[in-house]
Amino acid sequence: MIAANDPATMDCLAEIVAEAKSPEDKARLDELAAQLMTGANECLDRVENAVNEQLLRDQLGPLAEALNMSYIARTYFGRSRSWLSQRLNGHTVHGRKAILTDDERMTLNDALNDIQSQITAFTHSA
């Protein structure tokens, strides 16, 4: 993406493409371009996941301390508090970074909305 705005890079790429004469050369260039795109997409996915993880932690902020995460993990996920904590904090588990899946993020959002409803109902009845 940045390279597309760099005239020197674009000139170099145009030279490489111009030198590809045979169908084999062109096929190899297509293969390399596909590999580069795959690598770039994987990198973008990792960046997006990291940003989403940080946003979730930032959004929860001090609320994570005010809420009983053990209750949320057990009630809404059927898991332990440590399981939820590992995913909220991005800890490494079995050699991989633990994160919430999109479905688990939706479950957490639903859990927080449910707790909000319970608090609202309680404050209105008190």
Give the start-to-end residue ranges of the domains of the chain: 1-60, 62-126
Q: What is the pLDDT of residue 2?
A: 55
Residue 81 and residue 87: Cα distance in Å, rounded? 10
Residue 12: pLDDT band with limits 50, 70, 90: confident
- Dmax (CA) of the chain: 81
- The tokens describing 9, both together, are 């890079």
Residue 50 and residue 55: Cα distance in Å, rounded? 9
pLDDT in tens, 81-97: 999 988 988 888 899 88
Most confident of the ranges 36-45, 51-60, 85-94, 103-112: 103-112
Residue 84 and residue 99: Cα distance in Å, rounded? 9
Determine the Cα angle at 76 with ends 78 and 59, to 5°. 125
Counting residues of the chain whose pLDDT is more than 70, the rounded percentage is 90
Q: Inter-axis angle of helices 23-60 and 81-89, to 10 degrees?
A: 120
Q: What is the pLDDT of residue 1?
A: 46
Q: What is the pLDDT of residue 37?
A: 79
pLDDT at 70 over 80: yes
Contact 83, 93 (CB under 8 A): no
pTM for this model (two decimals): 0.56
